[in-house]
Structure 1
Amino acid sequence: MTYDQTLEYLFTRLPMYQRVGKKAYKADLVNTIKLMEYLDNPQDKFKSVHIAGTNGKGTSAHGIAAVLQTAGYKVGLYTSPHLKNFTERIKINGNEVSEAFIVDFVNRIKPAIENIEPSFFEITVAMAFDYFVQQNVDIAVIETGLGGRLDSTNVITPEVCLITNIGYDHMDLLGDTLEKIAAEKAGIIKRHVPVVIGETLPETAPIFEQIAENNESILIKAGISNWKPKNLVPSYFLKNMGGIESVIQELIRQGWKIKPEHIIQGVENSNELTGLKGRLQVLDEEPLLIADVSHNVDGLKLLFSQVESICQGRLHLVFGTVKEKELSSIFSAFPKDAVVYWTQSHVPRALEVEELAIQGIIHQVEGECFKDVNEAIQSAKEKAQPQDLILVTGSTFVVAEVDNL
């Protein structure tokens, strides 16, 4: 198969949560374990950092990888979902996995795919782990997909775990209370493996403490970072710096050679070092055009607060989401007096723009409808003044469809 044929095979044959939602979610590790056994258990052949959380796990993963990379290590990075290209999910020192490896890998394990019938995510995890072993990485930073306990990545035994925070997201799969969600995320805690908690709440702290105690794991509560960024970074990145620094300090305690200047240089340049996209990403100026993949109420509140603080004129909000979101709390977080442009992505999970507009009216938020995000952006550009700000957000898939991202 060619590369395009290989991707078509993966996208169409295997259920993919990002596209079809809940029916692609596998509530156990059976398939993943079978795939790992087929590949001679690559998860046991490299060192790792494992990251879970509701918000901030992607930026934390990129930040930690950038620090380790700056310190001179060969660093694997596995994140999801991708925005433009599938290869974004698997990187080493910021370089994306080759198309040739993807083709070879899928051809190599096709008998296992036909027999096991894994999900899209299970295949990509196996692919990443196999690649990191083949490339002999010093360490890999692994971001979970949805939860933690039953996430396909949860077959590794890392050097240290990080749980960034807990909020309300994917409640149909992870539970409808903070305690239930925390228990799922805390499922990445392994016996005798230190765990950093980036943010604790009264509801979640006892959960983390009990699970860490059950596993005889050191529990480290991250403090507030003193880092002062020199450039524009998302406020949620600042919120996660305490967790990033605590993970690095634990690795230093274990013997990893990382100097203070590596932390500053790595974090300051994490976008360039790791190829991070879609996090407060400036795409144009006058008017300022920013794209951000925040998609739940906690992340959006932080994003809206930061955007309002830097907006010199009026805010133009291009917004689309997916079907399973609880919209009332999201709409209540919308900035007042923003000009709203409803839109949608072109994946099956996308909430159709007409329904989004109806729900907006119900919650006293009105806007104009556009079937394509780039049409919405163009309309915003035509209406905006040079001092205004255009923000595209609400869904990873909406941001992914922005031209020239």
Structure 2
Amino acid sequence: MNRCGNPHNKLKTIHIAGTNGKGSTAAILQSILRTAGLKVGLYTSPHLVNFNERIRVNGIPISDDFIIEFMKMLNDDIDEIKSTFFETTTVLALYNFFIEKVDVAIIEAGLGGRLDSTNILEPNLTIITSIDIDHQNILGETINEIAFEKAGIIKKDTPVITSNQPKEVLDVLIGRAKILNSKIEIVNNPDKIIVDRFFTNFVVENKEFSIPLLGEHQAYNASLAIRASSLFMDGLSYQTINDGLKNTIWPGRFQLLDKKLPIFYDVAHNSAGINTIRSTLKSLNAINYIGLIIIKKDKEVDLIANALNGLFDELIISTLPNSQLMDKTELFNSLKSNNIKCKVIYPIEKAFCYISDKAEKGGISIIFGSHYAAKSIYKFFEINFDNVSI
């Protein structure tokens, strides 16, 4: 960071951590602030298809040329200090935002918060989204331990907003904020949430809003983003905020894959994420519900199985030739031992055809469980993802 001139000290930043919803909240917030006329940097992870997606300015991914020049400039330094992939990527993002002269950079923490490389920031605003059990091998076994790690991004005299969390989580966050003399605000829950196949409609402070991200949880994420935008930028009009919401694009979050058929893709990969799939599916009337699950090796299958119980009329297991993904037979046996009825369809293209056929017959199909499946999904469903602007 020193070699780049410490760009993090020269930027206005908004730092976001949480178990679920931090990427969606970041994307919604950047859309609102862009609609308000700001030049916005957005740093998120992981990527779906291309590395460049992680770093965007006004929705446009960082160029290959910029990455190449950055690596030429810092290659010796990276080798000398043995900088990790994520540490290097974080420096790249902040340096890019400085060179691009953004008005604000929205930075999503990678894992946890307290020890995350993004925690070098002294942000203008801190956002903590919903906290749940995930990455126990790194963040701790209990929700209190995980909340402690997330609360690590709270900085002295810096405003913090969060959603209405379980008491044990709020106790940790409020306690940390009090120690650091940072005002913490618990954002009110949205009201009158209605989800259809294309939009989530909801009410905040007696005002109606609409967002093209599906699910009740997205109304909660949007409520955080709405409050954050108002805290960061005075005088935002209702029209600006609502237009920003309607302009939000965030692939891989209950994303409709087919213009004619109800086939969706969601990167949900833990029990809390799968529970959001459950609540969203309930709002979409169908003859039956078909799930296609593809997950990473490191996931807690017992917790996932508990969330899957009774969710689908049919659950399909598949995988890809990727060392990060769980073997299809291993996943099948693990789910079966948890009394989850499922079957394996492989290769994955055959599974895609199967769930498409079910959707044609009146069902709703959803592919879920991993970012790593995105490239194959978009290729099969002929979605052009190259240099997508969000």
Normalised by the length of structure 1, the TM-score is 0.86
CA offset digits 1:169-200 (Å, max 9, x no partner): 11110011111101100111011110001232
Which residue of structure 1 aligns with residue 14 of structure 2? Answer: 49
Distance 1:263 1:199 in 2: 22
Which residue of structure 1 aligns with residue 144 of structure 2? Answer: 179
Which residue of structure 2 aligns with residue 33 of structure 1? Answer: none
Q: Does 1:340 align with 2:318?
A: no
Report the secondary structure of 2:152's partner residue: helix
Distance 2:100 2:38 in 1: 13
Which residue of structure 1 aligns with residue 294 of structure 2? Answer: 320
Mapping 1:239-250, distance limit 5 Å? 239-250=220-231
Distance 1:191 1:220 in 2: 15
Aligned-pair CA distance for 1:364? 1.8
Which residue of structure 1 aligns with residue 56 of structure 2? Answer: 91
Aligned-pair CA distance for 1:304? 2.0
8 Å contact kept, 1:282–1:291: yes
Distance 2:276 2:61 in 1: 30
Which residue of structure 1 aligns with residue 370 of structure 2? Answer: 395
8 Å contact kept, 1:331–1:363: yes
Which residue of structure 2 aligns with residue 380 of structure 1? Answer: 355
Distance 1:305 1:72 in 2: 35
Residue type of the alignment partner of 2:348: V
8 Å contact kept, 1:83–1:396: yes
Distance 1:352 1:369 in 2: 11
Report the secondary structure of 1:91's partner residue: strand
8 Å contact kept, 1:149–1:184: yes
Which residue of structure 1 aligns with residue 218 of structure 2? Answer: 237
Q: Does 1:132 align with 2:97?
A: yes
Distance 1:189 1:286, change over 3 A: same
Q: Does 1:157 align with 2:122?
A: yes
Distance 2:319 2:240 in 1: 40
Mapping 1:218-367, distance limit 5 Å? 218-225=183-190, 226=203, 227-229=208-210, 231=212, 233-252=214-233, 256=234, 258-271=236-249, 276-334=250-308, 335-367=310-342
Distance 1:303 1:170 in 2: 20
Equivalenced residues, count? 363
Distance 1:306 1:294 in 2: 12
Aligned-pair CA distance for 1:333? 2.1
Kindly report structure 1 stretches of 4+ aligned residues shifted beyond 4 Å. none
* Structure 1 counterpart of 2:27, from 47, 62, 72: 62
Which residue of structure 1 aligns with residue 386 of structure 2? Answer: none
Distance 1:337 1:170 in 2: 25
Q: Does 1:121 align with 2:91?
A: no
8 Å contact kept, 2:262–2:359: no
8 Å contact kept, 2:293–2:317: yes
Indicate the larger mover: 143-152 or 259-268.
259-268
Distance 1:168 1:232 in 2: 24
8 Å contact kept, 1:47–1:140: yes
Mapping 1:6-25, distance limit 5 Å? none
Indicate the larger mover: 39-48 or 277-286.
277-286
* Structure 1 counterpart of 2:110, from 145, 150, 160: 145
Indicate the larger mover: 50-59 or 326-335.
326-335
Can you give the 5+ residue segments of structure 1 that lack an aligned partner in the other structure?
Answer: 1-35
Distance 1:230 1:83 in 2: 21
Normalised by the length of structure 2, the TM-score is 0.89
Aligned-pair CA distance for 1:400? 4.0
Aligned-pair CA distance for 1:262? 1.5
Can you give the 5+ residue segments of structure 2 that lack an aligned partner in the other structure?
Answer: 191-202, 384-390
Distance 1:286 1:339 in 2: 21
Indicate the larger mover: 393-402 or 276-285.
393-402
Distance 1:193 1:230, change over 3 A: closer
Which residue of structure 1 aligns with residue 195 of structure 2? Answer: none
